[in-house]
Structure 1
Amino acid sequence: MQTLTRRPRWIKRRVLVVLDGLIVVGSLQLATMIHVESLQPFSNGSLWLTIGLLIPGSLLLFHWLGLYRVVIRYMSHVTVPTVVMVVVASALLVAPASSLAGHSVGLSITVVYALLLLLGIGSLRFVLRELYRRSQRRQRKPVVIYGAGAAGCELVAALRNGDEYEPAAFVDDWRGLEGSMVEGLRVHQPVALAALVQEHRAAMVLLAIPSAPRWRRREILHWLSGLSVPLKTIPGSADVIAGRAKISELRDVALEDLLGREAVPAFPELMEANIRDKAVMVTGAGGSIGSELCRQILDQRPVRLLLIDNCEFALYAIEQELKQHIENTQSHCELKPLLISVQHSGSLEAIFSSFEVHTVYHAAAYKHVPMVEFNLIQGVSNNVFGTLNLAKAAMAAGVETFVVVSTDKAVRPTNAMGASKRLTELICQAFAHAQSRTRFCMVRFGNVLGSSGSVVPVFHRQIEQGGPIKVTHPDITRYFMTIPEAAQLVIQAGAMGEGGEVFVLDMGEPVRIYDLARNMVRLSGLEVKDAEHPEGDIEIVYSGLRPGEKLYEELLIGHDVSRTRHDRIMTSKERFWEWPRLDAFLQELEQAFITTDYMRIRELLQLAPLDYHPLDEIADLVWEARQAMLPHTQAPCTGANTASSPVVRLDPVLNSVPKEG
């Protein structure tokens, strides 16, 4: 069989033509024998002449009707109408052929001939297809499919037409299917899965339940993680229906399935309130949250979208993606990619004066805790004074809505990044109460799956490298949500703000990072290497908390929390400083930056109403290098502005709130 399948298609087609010719001969002979009840039906040459006329006529009809265009290895029930059609056509030739041969064939012989021909031609092709599949099975990896529904059946067909996997059995938790045959495979209960994997030496379990709710998928995945067999899933039903994916495209299990968090439908009126037919600006447009905000904003049909980022490649990448989206959807939104930093107040003022902007989504920030700890001045100044510059430029230009993307690390922060983000919230709260022309609101949430620097891609890479997986602490927990859900909720929260609110997204239950790492190992078909399993594959080691890192995160500062019309969005009223007092504080902080006075920066951050309680000594790399250079008897360096002290030059910060109107 292997030798035949490697032959050119024209050779295989000729072999099939010869076999069909023999089936035509055999069918007519056998039909005549049955009719005359004799093993020697041909007393003269008239029937042989009938066969001689019938064979070329039938084969020509087979070719003309498309029988030989069917690829046998991909045959299915769809081919049956073609086979029936060629059989009927050949049967209609029997009477004319017999008349030309001088021998009349009765209707009964024609009917029996048609039935025998149908059986012969159909059986030949399905036997050849099965022989081909059997020859290929030895080279394929057996898999067990969880889910015997429509998606599972489509997956079986797709796998059988491929070259990599061979379906071995179905597993389904609906008892009505237990023991039945679907697509030629027996359906088993989930309790038999471990035995099936061992019996068939399955290389993988494929999850084919795209329409199941996420909580159900989480239950199944939690149970399957104990099998230590690789697990993949097919795309979700929405992606398949929309044409973004095919059933046969196997994927790694999405981490959102492990969280079991169901997506909540968006409120269309909230999604479009600040966007439809308006000019929108997104800062940090090339980042994880910023880029997803841009994608969802485009779907709401703005007239103009300004992309702000200081990373050239990130800005280029999101611009190219959005341009393609605009072409595909034939929308008329203007894209304006602007390569600037939010610390450049003059550039921001020029942009606002050149382009009318109605709504600003401010996602630009340095968000990685250790990086801001190691680069204290640049990290804090970017987050704080970048927001200050942007907010003042927006107010001066009469922007309607200003939405700040914040973080759970701003709640009782133990690191400079969290303190800087809480300070940006204070700035927006102060401006919201100092004027009414521009609505300010803040949206606070935790980690997002798959963002830059997230633990998930890091863990994936460490698993691919054979381990170990590095977890900072056995008890560390974090909140997680998907990037699309976070962006969607940011847009909706921004539409509900009246001015000065801190919106807090419902993140569900916190996730223990060790459990996350362990599940990722098990679902990759590997075993965690520990004291109980010394022969395991991947070890999980503890690297210790990084500078400024907490064991757990919080979302709320106080207890004055109110629900909103959206189930996943809460609002909190939190204390802040009025603008005059905050303005004086920011001027002192700016002076500390200019003089690179690290101790003063930390002192000021602790004096502000941030609840900032650093857990570690200053970790800034420049500060540590200076300390190492000092004699042990000298007092700690405060970074006073001396001749040897580097100066950080910031754009001048305006000291007054722009007047309304």
Structure 2
Amino acid sequence: MVWLVWNGLHWMRYAVAPSAPVLPLWSVQTSLVLAVQALVFWKVGLYRGLWRFASVPDLWNILKASVVGVLGVMLGLFLYDRMDSVPRAVLVLYPIVLAAMLGAPRLIYRAWKDAQSEGRRASSTRVLVLGAGQAGEALVRDLRRFGTYQPVGFLDDAPRLRGSKMHGIPVLGRIEELPEIARETAAQLVVIAVPSADATSLQNIVGICERSGIPFRMVPRLQDVLEGRSLPGELKEVAIEDLLGRKPVLPDWKAIRAWLGGRSVLVTGAGGSIGAELCRQCARHGARHITLVEMDELALMTAESTLRRDFPEIEITPILGDCGDRSVIDYAIGRTSPEAVFHAAAYKHVPMLETQLREAVRNNVLATYTVARACREASVGTFVLISTDKAVDPVNVLGATKRMAEIICQALADCPTRFVTVRFGNVLDSAGSVVPLFREQIRAGGPVTVTDPDVTRYFMTIPEACQLILQASAIGTHEAVYTLDMGEPVLIRLLAEQMIRLAGKQPGRDVAIVFTGLRPGEKLHETLFHADERYRPTQHPKILQAEPRKVVSTQVVEQLGHFADACARYDIDVLARLLRDAVPEFEPLNTRTNLGTGATVVAFPARQSRKI
């Protein structure tokens, strides 16, 4: 093409001259032009371009190569023969004509390939795209490349875009006009390409999509792609966490990596939803060695294989056993010498623990003491207790036992080991949480069971909860208790209705919602802060630090001895009395019978008169 342009411009220039010289098809001058231009093309990367995907950046590279090339040609010819035989008009027109001659074949080839794809799209899915911004433009390019989708129009609320076109696809109207436009265009799928929309806006958009009666998907958020929860270009279903109405916490990754980088860490309960995600977060942000302690063999095997697949460079040590067994935890700490221990192992199902007091105390209280004491004796740098907002003014066995675990950490804190407690609310999609339960009930056709029309809970996602744990650990001071500012509570009834709609069904018509009454140990509303714990802000705007309440270490150790003795004898009555005495703020809800199993909730005695 360079040879054709160079000689063609010379021929055109001399064609209008009265006495045109005879131009040779090849000369030293032509060889010099070809050599210089080929070198420029190679340096610019033009030979590595794919014609099938030629676009504006490729045309810009061609123009840049043509301009740089003519400058190089001018320099070479000046050194060769002072440019005596080169018309100035040729040098002026050369980069323009060359850019056109190089760009045109690429665009024609891409148009031809796109036309072939259009022919194959005759039977493809017709798609309406909500949002004509950058995400919508990138989505249309991806959909056309796949060949199985046919974009038929954009919908956007910006008035300036009305009637305009992008990649030949028109902006047909506002998003609220989706039901009418979908019928007119015979759309078969709606894709929400507004990744920056907040929860309120997304709820409105989802409501419009539901009214249209057409299946809908959404472009994943950039954060989900970067953290590996979604693939680039993947269309995902709208998840309930997208509609929760609260912005996720943005951690200070620099501080987390500075604290975690190169460390050996140990995670108890590593096969659970929180423990497994905590292991992934540690691996992703610089941990050198991760020890997994888990008593469920299948969960341990799954967590280990996932980590080895995703992070092959990190050293993984799986240990099957109960962290409440002192021999297991001593072996784990002695073998891997962790610098930080995350204690995520716990029983956490509220109604179940109301009828299983002995196991709740054994696992949530005594196992915590076992792990914490082993860390203290081994001089582990940091011990992190994963606690719950139910430990604030507890009314159930879960809250009381987790509060007792917090007291244990305070009682053992008079040593170099940093004891950090992190509290957070309900975690979406964790094992035993309400979201998987609702999802299964909806899949079975209902009914969806909600305890009370007015019951509310605070929610966060599993990755967000683990990010909070790492953030608090990174900024944690000695004997610290941290709580996340979780925003507004979520009405469980509305959560159930939104999940039913996301499944493509209508609440009350396709899937019934049944109110069953509060279960044993459940409160109508959770509280995040205790009146006696003076909270102050930390360096992270969404994390608050509580001032720990005073405990008497010797008394706590004595109580733990009584707990261990009562557990060994399986004495429920003594355990109930000990728990009431050890956790002064524990106010159990009224004892009643669990109608589902016939099991009777533990009857806690009146509070003893002696002061703790």
TM-score of the pair, normalised by structure 2: 0.75
Q: 1:471 — aligned with what?
A: 450
The letter of the residue matching 2:159 is: R
Deviations 1:15-67 (A, max 9, x none): xxxxxxxxxxxxxxxxxxxxxxxxxxxxxxxxxxxxxxxxxxxxxxxxxxxxx
The letter of the residue matching 1:357 is: P
Separation in 2, partners of 1:301, 1:122: 44
- Alignment of 1:514 with 2:493, yes or no, is yes
Alignment of 1:441-480 (within 5 A): 441-480=420-459
- Contact 1:179 1:186 (8 Å CA) reproduced: yes
Q: Secondary structure at the match of 1:602?
A: helix
Shift of residue 567, structure 1, vs aligned partner: 0.8
Alignment of 1:480-491 (within 5 A): 480-491=459-470
Shift of residue 133, structure 1, vs aligned partner: 3.0
Q: 2:333 — aligned with what?
A: 352
- 1:428 corresponds, among 406, 409, 428, to 409
Alignment of 1:210-609 (within 5 A): 210-212=195-197, 216-217=201-202, 220-221=205-206, 224=209, 229-238=214-223, 245-246=230-231, 248-327=233-312, 331=313, 333-432=314-413, 435-529=414-508, 536-558=509-531, 560-609=534-583
Separation in 1, partners of 2:598, 2:548: 35
Deviations 1:563-596 (A, max 9, x none): 1110111011243421111122222222322232
Provide the aligned C-alpha RMSD in A: 3.5
Q: Secondary structure at the match of 1:252?
A: coil
Separation in 1, partners of 2:184, 2:264: 61
- Contact 1:226 1:522 (8 Å CA) reproduced: no
Separation in 2, partners of 1:617, 1:572: 31
Deviates more, 1:255-264 or 1:187-196: 255-264
Shift of residue 274, structure 1, vs aligned partner: 4.1
Separation in 2, partners of 1:234, 1:483: 21
Q: 2:25 — aligned with what?
A: none
Change (3 A) 1:475 1:203: farther
Shift of residue 132, structure 1, vs aligned partner: 4.2
Separation in 1, partners of 2:383, 2:270: 15
Q: 2:161 — aligned with what?
A: 177
Q: Secondary structure at the match of 1:504?
A: strand
Shift of residue 607, structure 1, vs aligned partner: 2.0
Separation in 2, partners of 1:397, 1:524: 51
Shift of residue 126, structure 1, vs aligned partner: 7.1
Q: Secondary structure at the match of 2:337?
A: coil
The letter of the residue matching 2:278 is: L
Shift of residue 209, structure 1, vs aligned partner: 2.1
The letter of the residue matching 2:447 is: P
Paired residue total:
506
Larger Rg computed on CA atoms: 1
Change (3 A) 1:179 1:526: farther
Alignment of 1:644-655 (within 5 A): none
Separation in 2, partners of 1:380, 1:120: 74
Structure 1 alignment gaps of length 5 or more: 1-69, 82-116, 530-535, 628-635, 639-661
- Contact 1:155 1:247 (8 Å CA) reproduced: no
Separation in 1, partners of 2:211, 2:234: 25
The letter of the residue matching 1:291 is: A
- Alignment of 1:148 with 2:132, yes or no, is yes
Alignment of 1:89-128 (within 5 A): none
Change (3 A) 1:186 1:393: same
- Contact 1:448 1:481 (8 Å CA) reproduced: yes
Deviates more, 1:155-164 or 1:517-526: 155-164
- Contact 2:593 2:600 (8 Å CA) reproduced: no
- Contact 2:117 2:144 (8 Å CA) reproduced: no
Shift of residue 166, structure 1, vs aligned partner: 4.0
Shift of residue 335, structure 1, vs aligned partner: 1.4
Separation in 2, partners of 1:407, 1:206: 37
- Contact 2:400 2:579 (8 Å CA) reproduced: yes
Change (3 A) 1:159 1:625: closer
The letter of the residue matching 2:140 is: V
Shift of residue 265, structure 1, vs aligned partner: 3.4
Separation in 2, partners of 1:265, 1:306: 27
- Contact 1:284 1:309 (8 Å CA) reproduced: yes
The letter of the residue matching 2:380 is: V
Q: 2:21 — aligned with what?
A: none
Deviations 1:212-239 (A, max 9, x none): 4566545544665665654311222345
Change (3 A) 1:624 1:472: closer
- Alignment of 1:133 with 2:133, yes or no, is no
